[in-house]
Amino acid sequence: MELNIIIGGKAGAGIKEAGRMFARVIANLGYYVFVDVDYPSLIRGGHNFVNIRFSDKKVMSVKSKADIIIATDGRSIRAHEKDAKEDTIWVINEKEKREGAIRAPFKEVAPGFFKSSYVLGVLLKLLGIPLEEGLPLILSLPQKEKNESIYREAYNSVSEVFKVKRLNGKREIITGSEAIALGAVDGGLDIYVAYPMTPASPVLHYLAKNKKDLGIKVVHPENEIAVINMALGISYAGKRSMVGTSGGGFALMTEALSLSGMAEIPLVIYEAQRAGPSTGVPTYTAQSDLLFCLFAGHGDFPKIVLAPGDAEEAYFLSREALNLAWKFQVPVLLLGDKTLAESIFTAEINRERKVERPKLWNGNSDYKRYKVTADGISPLAFPGTENITVKVTSYEHDERGITVEDALLVKKMQDKRLKKAETIRNYMINEDYAVKIEGDPKSEKVIITWGSNKGVVNEVAEEVGYKVVRPLALEPLPHERIKREIEGAEKVISVECSASDQFIKLLNMYGIRVDTNIKKYDGRPFYKDELKSLVERF
């Protein structure tokens, strides 16, 4: 069984909460579910909706056309006419009119989650799911007695149309933001520093809410410049730090990013892309910070850029980012977007704490913070270590960290950082996760993509017989592996959410050519039926 459901209503009416509660219920029944969340940058008013797809088989995207549309107000009816099929079942507010629609009591009530309780009750009854399956979630809400009364009233207000049966077992759901937060914690995160900026804010909110249980500290400074400089100070002192922001905030961080590169201070930056430029469309998605993140900072210094495609990869790469930053003493960027951050995924995340020991000073010799080594990585020591001075600086320096301008010494230190970059590349290209091969691995037709396009591309590729090549490491890019995977292909299509072909430009830098580029840049992710139609044209 598979259904695609849209739930629409005003901002502040509990639409997102209704979608999350339904996702939890359907996952508890053993189904796979994926939820895309769509909302404007308004606290109240406007139009919010969630697009939910569930099935007894794995789903990682949604469709543009819905089997059921639940419109809790008149605006939602008008907004989603384009998303209806001939046989779409409409459920509308009893005050509204639409021929053939089911009417339900989506009452205007506040405060609390009352409208979400109405929606959940109506939806479960419509799908033939027993009332008891949603009751634990309703009773976990504020004002649970009122919510329970509303939930029961809504459940009894409509008739059963479908019969969703329980499958074996239960499944877990998680957002990309929650996965990133947990991955960082399990990678040894000590302190998370961030200024709120959509769509990175959910990581800040989740960690702040759960900081005691997770055993970390969370700091909210006055701006993004303070954020990154505070995080660098934390890392210099020997504690693992991570920051989170979006494009505009990251722009303010780039001078300090270069400080991290020169001072060789470990740092993880989570950059959650949204549609720009400038303020742009702050609550929608894009992949248009790709080249900015790859080339951010002035001067030559090594960095690592990783891009997860779903919640499971978000957890793994967030944990990996903390360890890579400390292993190589470089900034590591974890590049996501609104789709990854706020979608709800069915995921199997087996949490395991993994904190790798960095290269530390052994205490047996005169300490040089920037000691030249064969791999370019100097032993670490931290302030407070007895009888030594741990000097870091933004200036070019010698091995002790003393400022220099001599040509030979300047080149010596630059060569040291170049050696480290080579060490990083040799390490990264051999990691299994650097490039993922999915879809039909034997196909001579290839889709190459990155980031949160993973789910929709893989689903389409499996249906139309394409091989998928998807790098998770974007810097250093494992270009030789990519070339081998597409060599001899009769057709290569790239898929990205950038208006200016940023992913294509990255590939072209390494001599990788594609035949066709499919791109979307309206702030929305690709829908499965939409992408399938586009791929089948070529």
Neighbours of 350 (CB within 10 A): 6
In the block, residue with structure tokens 């499944």 = 171
CB 472 within 8 A of CB 428: no
Q: Return the pLDDT at 43.
A: 76
Q: Return the pLDDT at 108.
A: 59
Quick one: fold of 434-535?
Rossmann fold (3.40.50)
Question: Domain 2-155: what homologous superfamily?
Answer: Pyruvate-ferredoxin oxidoreductase, PFOR, domain III (3.40.920.10)
CB 502 within 8 A of CB 292: no
Q: Tokens standing for 429? A: 């290209």
Beta pairing, strands 267-273 & 491-496:
unpaired
Query: Rounded to whole angstroms, how far apart are CA atoms 364 and 45?
Result: 65
The pTM of this model reads 0.96
* 317 membership: H or E segment, kind and range: helix 311-328
Where, residue-wise, is CATH 3.40.50.920 in the chain? 434-535
DSSP secondary structure letter of residue 490: S
Q: Return the pLDDT at 110.
A: 47
Q: Tokens standing for 80? A: 């989603």
Where, residue-wise, is CATH 3.40.50.970 in the chain? 175-346
Please report how the helices 15-28 and 114-126 are oriented relative to each other, as an axis angle in degrees rounded to 10. Answer: 40
**Residue 86 C-alpha from the chain's centroid:** 35
Where, residue-wise, is CATH 3.40.920.10 in the chain? 2-155
Q: Return the pLDDT at 45.
A: 75
CB 287 within 8 A of CB 337: yes
**pLDDT tens digits for the chain (538 residues)?**
999 999 999 888 889 999 999 999 999 999 999 999 999 998 777 899 999 999 999 999 999 999 999 999 999 999 999 999 999 999 999 889 899 999 987 865 545 567 899 999 999 999 999 999 999 999 999 889 999 999 999 999 999 999 999 999 999 999 999 999 999 999 999 999 999 999 999 999 999 999 999 999 999 999 999 999 999 999 999 999 999 999 999 999 999 999 999 999 999 999 999 999 999 999 999 999 999 999 999 999 999 999 999 999 999 999 999 999 999 999 999 999 999 999 999 999 999 999 999 999 999 889 999 999 999 999 999 999 999 999 999 999 999 999 999 999 999 999 999 999 999 999 999 999 999 999 999 999 999 999 999 999 999 999 999 999 999 999 999 999 999 999 999 999 999 999 999 999 999 999 999 999 999 999 999 999 999 999 999 8
For domain 175-346, the CATH class is alpha beta
Among 360, 180, 321, residue whose Cα is nearest residue 240: 321
* Overall size of the chain counted in residues: 538
121 half-sphere exposure, CB direction, 13 A CA radius = 24
Provide DSSP, 329-379.
TSEEEEEEEHHHHH-EEE-------------B--SSS---TT---TTS-PP
